[in-house]
A and B are shown apart, each in its own frame.
Chain A
Amino acid sequence: MTINNFRTQQRPDSGINEQNDERINASEQGTISTNPKPNVSVKDDDADSNCSANSHNLADNHTVLSLQNVKVASRLSVEGLRAKKGECVHIIGPNGAGKSTLLLTLAGLIEADEGNVMLLGKPMSDWSLATLANVRTLLAQQSESGFHLSVKEYLSFYATAQQDELIPPVLEKALEISGFLNKILTQLSGGERQRVEICRSLLQIWPQLERGEGIAFLDEPLQGLDIRHQYALASLVKFLCDKGNTLLMTSHDIALSANYCDSLWLMQKGCMVAFGKPQEVATQTNLESVFECHFAISKHDNFLEIQVCAPISLE
């Protein structure tokens, strides 16, 4: 897999630009709180099939994940959300917006105080940790290991037994970790360690990912990666989704996320502010109200250019 120049990369939903431009204008007019939906909702099946008629990903209406009125303590309160098979979801939002809590809840590692979380049509409470482990994987943000084991040994504990090679070629192309397989885990740089962790989490369900049946939750996988590996990872995530897997990742790189996802979820203070196609969610109004800084957004063909355009005053 090569790293595509994202400017020229064709998005699957090409051909509906005019429609989308209108939507951006429409949603820019309303405030976020009063207008979270009609255009950007994926809750409604009809609206969804309208705006993504050409998308091969969403043509399969099979819902992998869904949330309904989920509340987790004071950290998360989400009304309704769903992710479909093969969907690539990027979640953005300020620090403490509840992105990690959302991922952990969806992964079945935090129990919701209220509401329903469904995974593959089954309520989360019906899943056991052991069966979940064969269906979905999670990359957590912090992973401590004070033990001085080698990268190779570390990865071998998580790889499934029937693999011929420890690191599948696609993973190696995107993550490039075979160079330090024999190094000690704790002696790696932050970015190298992050690449190893990403590899570990994906290895856990690699047979499922190869068949296009996997679900992965990656919490800030771009953290610490250099620019090349950031885009390599975004391409890897897209590649896996195109095979039919469902991947959800959080990110702080709005510009990258907006161009590499099928759906963009925008969160603030534990709530989902907007969700849907990136062009509809990453609007100036939405971003400025959530992130509290000025954005310049321009659209070139299918590429969204998003920049912070005014300095933030410290006075």
Chain B
Amino acid sequence: MTGTKRTAVTLVVITVLLSLVIGVVGIVSVTGLSDTAAELKQHIIVQLQIPLVFTACLVGAALSTSGATLQVVLRNPLADPGIIGITSGASLVAALLLLLTPQWATAYLHYLLPLGCFIGALLSTFIIYRLARKLLGSSTAVILAGIAISTLSGAVIAWLYMFSDANALRNLTFWLMGSLYQTNWLILSVGGPLIAVAVALQLYFAGDLNKLYAGELAAKSSGVDVEKLTERALIVCAIAVGTAVSMAGSIAFVGLLVPHILRLIIGHNNRYLLPLSALSGASLLMLVALSSEMTRAITLPVSMVTATLGGPLLIWALAKGQIKG
């Protein structure tokens, strides 16, 4: 145990340092670039760069912690906020808003979109949970219901595509691939606390989550109210993911990849795994933001970068036999 603890503490220190360095480099690189008026420089930093760093941190932490929690709660290593359908509800609402909002309302879209996504995420989680409960009451049912909801909203989005103009389509495609540049201080001031609380609650569940490894009956026998824990964890994850999606669109892979890689290094104890997932997820997305910043002109869709980085890593881990079933 002491070995694991030491590894965990070392990792925490490294991650925090890395995050700081990445954050600072991100800011400084921009400061170095803009040698125009000092006022403009300040404006860029305050209105664009700092929100970007915060968004990357919050979204990364929310997605990877929720991924880790969902994998244990649903007892399925495949679980990911994207795969079980939490994000698909948000995507559907975003598509509806982006493609169908009348001309006069486009000015408010900036605020309408996050709100709509948040409601969409919660709504789809609610439907998935009720459906799963009615069908089988098992964790596999939650995943199946999630896939059903994802497929359905994917189909609706595809239909919407057919009846939309080019500009709206481009917006939607961009949003669906995730972007860290959509936020502002107002959205951050609402989303930040929401994510912070949702992540903190997940850390609070860590001890009970550990007992779920032996299955539902064993967990119940050792004093964990499994139904209540599942319900609470799903709601908390929906809030975290819903907020993240509202702030940055749908970002693939982070929730699946980060916890799996971490389990290889520090083991399965959720007391370490969950906080480290939060920190590593935050670092990963800041890295993405930084690489986006390095390429300057283009703002890269985040999913593109996370999938490009994460895909090979996951395949490598699978091939080495480190991650199974």
**Do these two chains really belong together in a complex?**
yes
> Which residue numbers of A lie inside 8 Å of B, CB to CB?
104, 107, 109, 129-134, 136-138, 140, 142-150, 153-154, 156-158, 186, 197, 200-201, 204
**Distance in angstroms between the alpha carbons of A21 and B104 in the assembled complex:** 96
User: Could you say which of B213, B217, B267 contacts A138, with CB atoms under 8 Å apart?
Assistant: B217
Question: How far does the alpha carbon of A145 sit from the alpha carbon of B74 in the complex, in Å?
Answer: 11
Contacts of A138 in B (CB 8 A): 217-218, 221
Residues of chain B within 8 A of A186, CB atoms compared = 324-325
Q: In the bound complex, do residue B221 and residue A137 qualify as a contact, i.e. CB atoms below 8 Å apart? A: yes
Contact A133 to B222, CB < 8 A, known contacts A149-B267, A153-B269, A156-B1: yes
Does B154 reach chain A (CB closer than 8 Å)? no
**Residues of chain A lying within 8 A (CB to CB) of residue B4:** 153
Knowing A129-B220, A156-B1, the reply to whether A147 touches B268 (Cβ < 8 A) is yes
Residue of B with least CB distance to A185: B213
Number of residue pairs spanning A and B whose beta carbons lie under 8 angstroms apart? 81
**B311, CB-defined interface residue at 8 Å:** no
Chain A residue numbers with a CB within 8 Å of B323 are: 148
Q: Are A150 and B221 in contact (CB under 8 A)?
A: no
For B, the interface residue count at a CB cutoff of 8 angstroms equals 26
Nearest B residue to A136 via CB reads: B221
Please, which residues of chain A bring their CB within 8 A of the CB of B214?
A: 143, 145, 154, 157-158, 197, 200
| Chain B interface, DSSP helix/strand/loop, else mixed | loop
Bound state CA distance, A142 and B267, in angstroms?
A: 24
Distance (Å) between the CB of A182 and the closest chain B CB? 11
Nearest first, the 8 A-B pairs at minimum CB distance are: A133-B223, A140-B217, A138-B221, A149-B268, A143-B215, A157-B210, A130-B223, A133-B222
The reply on B235 being an interface residue by CB < 8 A is no
Contact check, A146 vs B222: say whether CB atoms are below 8 A apart.
no
Shortest A102–chain B CB gap in Å is 15
Q: How far is the CA of A269 from the CA of B211 in the complex (A)?
A: 33
Docked Cα-Cα span, A138 to B4, in Å, equals: 29
The residues of B that contact A131 with a CB separation of less than 8 Å are 223
Q: Given A132-B223, A137-B221, A153-B268, are A144 and B77 neighbors across the interface (CB < 8 Å)? A: no
Cβ of B213 and Cβ of A154 under 8 Å apart? yes
Any chain A CB within 8 A of the CB of B225?
yes
- With known contacts A129-B224, A156-B1, A204-B221, A140–B324 Cβ distance under 8 A: no
- Do the beta carbons of B213 and A147 come within 8 Å of each other? yes
Q: A149 to chain B: closest CB distance in Å?
A: 4
Q: Complex formed: what's the CA distance from A201 to B217 in Å?
A: 11
Q: How far is the CA of A212 from the CA of B267 in the complex (A)?
A: 34
A144 touches B269 (CB 8 A): no
Interface string of B109-126 (1 = CB under 8 A from A): 000000000000000000
Contacts A156-B1, A157-B210, A158-B211; A129 near B217 (Cβ below 8 A): no
